[in-house]
Structure 1
C-alpha cells in the first residue's frame, strides 16, 4: 500500500484572532479527505505553546457564542531541528521526548500576528517544511495595512486616502492630515484582522477613543477615509499558471451593524447576507476579478487569498485589503465563492494541499 502523506493543521496562536483560527481549523479538519491524507492537529495556545490537539472538527465549533480555545496539553510539539532532520517530536513536561514522525505539509490556518504575518512561515522555511499559504514576504505585506497599501499603489491599484499613526506617535502631530480626510473615517489596527478593533468615526470627538480601541490590538493604527460603496469580495487561488479568481461575492449587513464587524462575521449571522455571485454588471465583475488577481500579485501572494474591494454607484472600484489566510469554515466567504464558481469545499482543500505538497522548498 502507498503511504499516505501527512498534513498538520496548525491553528490557535497568540493573536486576538485565536478563537477564529480554531473555528477555521474545525472547517478544514472536516474537509480533509482522510482516505488520502493522515491528519495531525497542532494547536498553539494563547501563550505560544505548540501542542497536539483534537483532530475532531466538532471540538472546534462556536458554542453558545463562545469561541473555542486551544488547551495546554502538558507537552510541546517541536519541528525538525534542521534541514533534512525530517521528524517532528513531542517533548513532555517531564522531559521525556517521543517521535511524532514526518509531516509532509503544514496547513497553518492562523489569523493575525504571530501566524499570518510571516513569522510561522519563516520558521517552516528554515527547515524546508512545505506549507499552504503565502510565503514570508507576501504574508508580512498582507498583514500590515500600511505596506499593503504601498504595494497596491505601486501596482497602480486604486486605494482610499489614509493616515498612519506609528507606535507612540501623538495623534495631535497628524491632526491636520486626519482632518483633511473628512468624515466619516474608519480607524483600524494596522496589523489585525477579523474586524478586530475597527470602528467607524463620525465625529472628531470620538476619534481618540477609536484610536485607543484600535491600539489595544496593534500599536500602529490606520485611519482611512470612508468609501461609499458595496462591499465586494473575491477569492484567489494561486496556481503554476498564475492566480485564478472566483466569482465575486457581496456582504450585506443589517440590524445594528453599520459595517461587517466581528459580531456580524461570527456571532450574529442572522443580520448578515452573503450573496454570491454578487449582482453586478458582467463588465464590473471582470474588472473586480482582474483587480483581485493584480492585488494578489502585488504583494507576492501564493496559494490563496481573499481580496476585498468597494464598488461605488458609478462603478468605481477601490481596493480595501487582501487577506492571505481568510476565514475558511464551510460558511465563510472564501469557500462559498469558490463553490459558486464550481469548486466545492473538499475539492478546494484538496487542491491547496496537493499544490503545497508539490511546492519547491528554498528560494523560489
Structure 2
C-alpha cells in the first residue's frame, strides 16, 4: 500500500432485511472513493453473520453468487472456534479507518461499533451506546421527551403486559387510529396501522415476532414525511430538508415502497415549508443529534401534521447510500457532493478517534505541573 493512501475497510451486508440495500450502498461508496487517496478492502457480513474476507467479498461485489461464495467459504471455517465469524477481519492489516454501512440489526444497534472499538481503530459513525439508543425507538423517545423534542405519544408493550391493553383502552389515550411498531426494527417491518380490535390484535401478534418491546403510537393527522441529514461530531451541521410522498393507495412509507418498488414514491428536495417550520425541524434535529451524542452522520425523519406541527419520527445512524437514498441526495442539494461527503465522513471518524484516545480510562493523578496547567486553563 502506498504510504500516502488511507486504508479504508468497508463493512456491509448483515442479517437484516436491508442486506441487499447495504450491498448497493457499499458498491456506490466504493465506486465513488478516490482510489488515489484510498486503498479499499471489503468485508461482506453474510445473512448468517459471518464476515467474509476481502477476496471473497470482492467476488460477490463483482457479481458472483453470494450463496455460492458463502457455501465455499463456510467449508473453510472452523465453526468450533467461537471467533470464527469475525476472524477474517484479521486477514487485512494496517486498516486506517473502518466504514460500516450495515443497516438495521448488527450495524445500527451498536454491535459492529463495539467490535470496532475493541480493534482500537477509527470508524465512521456513532459509538456503541449512541447507536444502540438511537436504534431503540422507546429509548430514543424517552430521551427526546427529556430534551423537549416533540414526538408522537405512545404506550410501550412488553410480553408481560401486552394482554392488559385492548384497542379501546389505547384508543382512549392515543386516538382511534393507532400505529403498532417493534421498538428495535427498521425498514418499516412489523409496522401496522390499525383502527379496530381485530386489526390491533393481529398487528400486536406480528410486531412481537420482531422484538420483545412494541410501541403503540398515536397517528398524526394528514402527515407530510420530511427528512433532514446531519453531518459532524461535536459541531454538527444540517442539510436542506427533503420530503417523501407515497402513493395515495398506501397508508404509510412501507417496506415495499422502500425496497421492492419505489417507482411511485416522489422525493422533493428541497421541500417548501414555512420558514418557521423548517427552522423548527432543523433545531429539533440538531438537539436530538446532540442529546443522543451522535457522531459522523444521521438521517432524521419527521412527520409534519396538517396544522404544520413537526414530530420527530426516527433517527437513522447509518443511512443508505444507494442511488435513491436521501442522505447523500440531501447533501448534494446542500452543496456537498457524494465524493466530498465520503471524504468528510472518513475525516470525522479519525477526528473522533483522536478525541477518544485523549480520554483516560485508568486513574492517573495529576502532578503539580499538570494541576497548574488545569488551574490556568480554568481561570
**TM-score, reference length from structure 1:** 0.86
Specify which of 101, 115, 135 is matched with residue 127 of structure 2.
Answer: 135
Structure 2 equivalent of residue 286 of structure 1: 279
Shift of 1:356: 1.2
Q: Does 1:113 align with 2:114?
A: no
In structure 2, what is the Cα distance between the partners aligned to 1:226 and 1:33?
Answer: 45
Secondary structure of the residue aligned to 1:259 is: coil
Q: Does 1:171 align with 2:162?
A: yes
Q: Does 1:318 align with 2:311?
A: yes
Shift of 1:38: 0.7
User: Is the Cα contact below 8 Å between 2:51 and 2:88 reproduced in 1?
Assistant: no
Structure 2 equivalent of residue 352 of structure 1: 345
In structure 2, what is the Cα distance between the partners aligned to 1:353 and 1:214?
Answer: 36
Structure 2 equivalent of residue 21 of structure 1: 22
Structure 1 segments of 4+ aligned residues over 6 angstroms from their partners:
67-70
Specify which of 190, 201, 220 is matched with residue 227 of structure 1.
Answer: 220
Structure 2 equivalent of residue 185 of structure 1: 178
Structure 2 equivalent of residue 95 of structure 1: none
Secondary structure of the residue aligned to 1:357 is: helix
In structure 1, what is the Cα distance between the partners aligned to 2:62 and 2:126?
Answer: 27
User: Is the Cα contact below 8 Å between 2:43 and 2:51 reproduced in 1?
Assistant: yes
Secondary structure of the residue aligned to 1:322 is: strand
Secondary structure of the residue aligned to 2:52 is: strand
In structure 2, what is the Cα distance between the partners aligned to 1:23 and 1:327?
Answer: 9
In structure 2, what is the Cα distance between the partners aligned to 1:363 and 1:57?
Answer: 39
In structure 2, what is the Cα distance between the partners aligned to 1:107 and 1:69?
Answer: 24
Structure 2 equivalent of residue 144 of structure 1: 136
Q: Structure 1 59/197 Cα, relative in aligned 2: closer, same or farther at 3 Å?
A: farther
Structure 2 equivalent of residue 307 of structure 1: 300
In structure 1, what is the Cα distance between the partners aligned to 2:247 and 2:152?
Answer: 24
Alignment of 1:139-288 (within 5 A): 139-166=131-158, 168-175=159-166, 177-179=169-171, 180-228=173-221, 229-240=223-234, 242-254=235-247, 256-288=249-281
Q: Structure 1 60/297 Cα, relative in aligned 2: closer, same or farther at 3 Å?
A: farther
Structure 1 equivalent of residue 366 of structure 2: none
Secondary structure of the residue aligned to 1:246 is: strand
User: Is the Cα contact below 8 Å between 1:22 and 1:60 reproduced in 2?
Assistant: no
Q: Structure 1 200/69 Cα, relative in aligned 2: closer, same or farther at 3 Å?
A: farther
Secondary structure of the residue aligned to 2:109 is: coil
Structure (1 or 2) with the greater strand fraction: 1
Shift of 1:170: 4.4
When the two structures are aligned, how many residues end up with a matched partner? 341
Shift of 1:344: 1.3
In structure 1, what is the Cα distance between the partners aligned to 2:68 and 2:295?
Answer: 27
Secondary structure of the residue aligned to 2:285 is: helix
Shift of 1:2: 3.3
Structure 2 equivalent of residue 94 of structure 1: none
Shift of 1:308: 1.0
**TM-score, reference length from structure 2:** 0.83
Q: Structure 1 184/70 Cα, relative in aligned 2: closer, same or farther at 3 Å?
A: farther
Structure 2 residues without counterparts, runs of 5 or longer: 79-85, 360-379
Specify which of 109, 116, 120 is matched with residue 124 of structure 1.
Answer: 116
Q: Structure 1 211/71 Cα, relative in aligned 2: closer, same or farther at 3 Å?
A: farther
Q: Structure 1 277/203 Cα, relative in aligned 2: closer, same or farther at 3 Å?
A: same
User: Is the Cα contact below 8 Å between 2:9 and 2:40 reproduced in 1?
Assistant: yes
Name the Cα RMSD after superposition.
2.6
Shift of 1:207: 0.9
